[in-house]
Amino acid sequence: MTSGLRGTVYATAGGACLQGTNCGKRPVADVTLAFTLGARTVRTTTHQDGSFRVSLAPGIYTVRLASRATMRNVQPTRATVTRGRFRAVVFLLATPKIP
């Protein structure tokens, strides 16, 4: 397939962040992302450096972590795949909002 997504998954330390800093952002290995379009879901797992590459048909996908055991959410929750190219995207793992 000639289209899909490539990029890196990062985790942040959380809390306040000073402008111009990386806020403790670090790549996360062995995270499984699930990309869903209609009834089809494709999964990919990040490498040691947090990077991933996944072949996907063109469309707008819902993105989530494949493991429900984690207390983190992935952002953004949607990703667009364009025909004929691998689009670069960065995903952040964030802790859920406290009510």
The CATH number assigned to the domain holding 29 equals 2.60.40.1120
pLDDT at 72: 75
Tell whether 99 is covered by a domain: no
Q: What is the pLDDT of residue 83?
A: 95
How many Cα neighbours within 13 Å face the side chain of 90? 9
Full domain range(s) for residue 58: 4-16+23-94
Please provide the size of the chain in residues.
Answer: 99
Any domain includes 52: yes
Give the CB-side neighbour count of residue 71, counting CA atoms within 13 A. 4
In contact, 27 and 50? CB cutoff 8 Å: yes
Q: Read off the pLDDT of residues 3-18 as tens digits, 9 standing for 90 and up.
A: 999 999 998 765 556 5
Contact 55, 81 (CB under 8 A): no
Residue 55 within any structural domain of the chain: yes
Cβ pair 72, 95 in contact under 8 A: yes
Sites in the chain below the pLDDT cut of 50: none
Task: Tell me, yes or no, whether 30 lies in a domain.
Answer: yes
